[in-house]
Chains A and B, each alone.
Chain A
């Protein structure tokens, strides 16, 4: 059984996280380190299967992002964990205790989950203080705990305000404080930043990350924004069409996506046809070193920032011409037309004198990833 203390635990050694564990394979971890374990979750609404067998482990004290396009079932998965929807199949364990499964369906109030809703769902008829104290038992420590949590989110001076008197970012923090107050085993955040305007979003994200870390809380964050997931999460589970198709830490997810869908979803992806021969692949850019091994017709993943361009006088022979250039300030994006056919985008730093119409030589930095040539159409939910 998990210890009662959810007060700041020793942060787990980040280096100890096993890299490259694509499957949520709980057996690798000590039992107590799993705050939430979902096995084979299924949920359908009428004839539509929304969640089709989701396995997910959330490690204690860390932030797991559930990333996927809208309509992929990620919010439903979150609500299944919270007990706001009823499972059709599978099990949910929270803090080592079975809360949902065959013959068992604990109501949300007994699951020890804190939830931050997309629209915050602050009780409009209660002050900030009473919102935060809502989940606390009526004991005299209530007030102390309420103060403590409001301090944590930096809103101690706002206790007597009403929710509608707060800014969006402040409301967000109240929602978080309210969810954290009863010391939940896990905090579930459902698209918590989507209601904020873009400038505010970055700051609030940072704040939320810091608050969760200070509280030592385990959190599961649902988002469709890959940048949000990559920058915030310790670990990311990519959900597609009701299933988890990859679970990895952010760097791994970005650099080693399991398939084309993930590759395109988590970043800017372009694919170059090639013929794989063991540890290298032949393309119109010449032979490229392969990360891993493959044989036969493949598509090579090229992220714009891995593409190098060299200008004509120094580079000879050239193999492409720049057809477009967009300058964004902190970087620039160039489109080149390959002589052998096909176009590529390259992402370069702010400096460099390449202009539209220049002849360039295109090369690729580092080893590349290749996927079997796509035959099935990419269908999204």
Chain B
């Protein structure tokens, strides 16, 4: 009928053509039009993104300074060894994690295994043990003059065990403390699987085993892959385990290069190689996760499925669960308690412990606050003002996942020592480095909680007279508060456990629980490490306890999914 009106200009369409990984579906009606986000949102977001990019940019510049030396280093024999070791360790840890985690996940979701809930909780608990504490306990138990050897030496006269140092120890430790990533991912997928598919398979004449291998396992493949990639990513980023167990991978090589040589460009080059490795894993994970949408079951509550009867298989299944529990939880705790008992009789300094605890809490608290605030503009931009630019900004913050702690530590040491000398070795710079490292966690949690707030609510506030910013403040933020707190708590906990950044950037005399453990291990005095290690584990276990308490009273709001949140 009416055909008045001018043709829209091509620029009008620009912000709408941006397709985030999530926003491919058309037409998302609430997708915002041309309205620009307020200055108070995009300006801080830009600053945060620039900060995130800083370490990487600096490393690139620094590495390029070395000129042709870089290529010599990159193509050196030792670099190839380091690369091989890193890849081998990542692959074996990921595989072993999957081999432990998939049966555990299946047993705890689909079968009549006794104490299913208990085992499911137990399987996630190794995450609360910092991996370097795990390494410490493995050394204390299986190392030369360790507990196992000592107890064997007496009656059996065995003087030497196979060495735990190098690959076997690193592999064992990292597997024991990263398999929960795969477990969480697979368990979530198993719970979300449409039971109708399995029922259909059963009706078509396949038994429970053939149904598992023909119908369930193929659908779990993406979940297994993302979990395994997460565990691999953790492995290549890990600094504490490989350094303590002396296995030559990138993180250790970077550290050694930084400690031993004058020319830090080479350390920067190695660090860049490591980042490249991490980015590849991260992209692979994102690609697989992007395709695995069909795993979610449709709307509505999933029906409870009939549990598979294990019968006689119950006993081997229980033995398997028990073995995992013994190795990943009981062994470290037993070792630490043993050393605690021995240390207490020797009398350890309580003052020192208190100052370390307060330092850890100070650093963690400030970092959590800073990260929660820094993440907010980025998350708001990504959720409420979708477009190419805001998606790019959000993704830039995820770079933190691909930056291992040692790499960030190194970049900040360089920048601090050369350009920001007054800030070098101050608490401020330490906090900034923490924020760069852990911002993705905060952005992720805030983004999730903002996504749960319907844009309709903001629109309702707009039609009732609030400005764009006013609507966010009056409606969105109060509703997103639980998620923001969760994000901050997560940052707090991971900062407490963080090792390489703390080690390299702490102000002099600023001892934390993590650095206490590290220096005690370095000098072989496990008794001194036991108290801070147990304290750290107790603090890390707190949110698990809180989560189970909170879970009881959250009526109106769905809890945040835990799998991405647990990621470090």
A residues whose Cβ falls under 8 Å from a Cβ of B: 23, 39-42, 44-46, 48, 50, 53-55, 75-76, 79, 82-86, 88-90, 102, 107-111, 113-115, 117-119, 121, 123-125, 134-135, 137, 164, 178-179, 182, 184, 188, 243-245
Q: How far is the CB of A237 from chain B (nearest CB, A)?
A: 11
Q: How far is the CB of B482 from chain A (nearest CB, A)?
A: 11
> Which of B25-33, B70-78, B353-361 lies at the interface?
B25-33
- Note all chain B residues with C-beta closer than 8 A to A243: 1-2
Is the beta-carbon distance between A53 and B465 smaller than 8 angstroms? no
Of the residues B8, B27, B467, contact of A42 by C-beta under 8 Å: B8
Q: How far is the CB of B135 from chain A (nearest CB, A)?
A: 45
Interface string of B457-475 (1 = CB under 8 A from A): 1011111111110100011
- Note all chain A residues with C-beta closer than 8 A to B8: 42, 44, 88-89
Is the beta-carbon distance between A109 and B467 smaller than 8 angstroms? yes
Given contacts A76-B29, A109-B467, A135-B465, is CB(A90)–CB(B459) below 8 Å? no
Q: How many A-B residue pairs have CB under 8 A?
A: 122
Is the beta-carbon distance between B456 and A121 smaller than 8 angstroms? yes
Is the beta-carbon distance between A134 and B4 smaller than 8 angstroms? no
Interface string of B464-499 (1 = CB under 8 A from A): 111110100011001100000000000000000000
Q: What are 19 of the A-B contact pairs (CB < 8 Å)? A: A41-B5, A42-B8, A45-B16, A45-B31, A50-B27, A53-B3, A53-B5, A76-B29, A84-B463, A86-B34, A88-B12, A89-B6, A109-B463, A113-B463, A134-B464, A164-B556, A179-B463, A182-B464, A182-B465
If over half of B's interface residues share one DSSP class (helix, strand or loop), that class is named, otherwise mixed; here it is loop
**Interface status of B7 (Cβ within 8 A of chain A):** yes
Is the beta-carbon distance between A125 and B478 smaller than 8 angstroms? yes
Of the residues A75, A86, A90, contact of B33 by C-beta under 8 Å: A86
* Complex Cα gap A137–B16 (Å): 34
- Note all chain A residues with C-beta closer than 8 A to B16: 45-46
Is the beta-carbon distance between B13 and A44 smaller than 8 angstroms? yes
- Note all chain A residues with C-beta closer than 8 A to B457: 121, 123
Is the beta-carbon distance between B463 and A114 smaller than 8 angstroms? yes
8 Å CB interface, B1-57 against A: 1-8, 12-13, 16-17, 26-27, 29-31, 33-35
Interface hub of A55, A84, A182, A188 (most chain B Cβ within 10 A): A84
Is the beta-carbon distance between B467 and A40 smaller than 8 angstroms? no
- Note all chain A residues with C-beta closer than 8 A to B525: none
B residues whose Cβ falls under 8 Å from a Cβ of A: 1-8, 12-13, 16-17, 26-27, 29-31, 33-35, 454, 456-457, 459-468, 470, 474-475, 478-479, 556
Is the beta-carbon distance between B2 and A54 smaller than 8 angstroms? yes
- Note all chain A residues with C-beta closer than 8 A to B13: 44, 46
Is the beta-carbon distance between A109 and B2 smaller than 8 angstroms? no
Q: B8's closest neighbor in chain A, by CB? A: A88
* Complex Cα gap A179–B2 (Å): 31
Of the residues A46, A75, A86, A108, contact of B29 by C-beta under 8 Å: A75
Is the beta-carbon distance between A82 and B463 smaller than 8 angstroms? yes
Is the beta-carbon distance between A117 and B460 smaller than 8 angstroms? yes
- Note all chain A residues with C-beta closer than 8 A to B29: 75-76, 79, 85
- Note all chain B residues with C-beta closer than 8 A to A45: 16, 26-27, 31
Q: B3's closest neighbor in chain A, by CB? A: A53
A-B pairs, top 5 by smallest CB distance, nearest first, are: A135-B464, A89-B5, A86-B33, A40-B4, A121-B456
- Note all chain A residues with C-beta closer than 8 A to B6: 89, 102
- Note all chain B residues with C-beta closer than 8 A to A39: 2, 4
Q: How far is the CB of A181 from chain B (nearest CB, A)?
A: 8
- Note all chain A residues with C-beta closer than 8 A to B479: 123-125
Q: A137's closest neighbor in chain B, by CB? A: B465
* Complex Cα gap A124–B2 (Å): 42
- Note all chain A residues with C-beta closer than 8 A to B26: 45-46, 48
* Complex Cα gap A267–B16 (Å): 37
* Complex Cα gap A89–B3 (Å): 10
Q: How far is the CB of A124 from chain B (nearest CB, A)?
A: 6
* Complex Cα gap A234–B16 (Å): 37
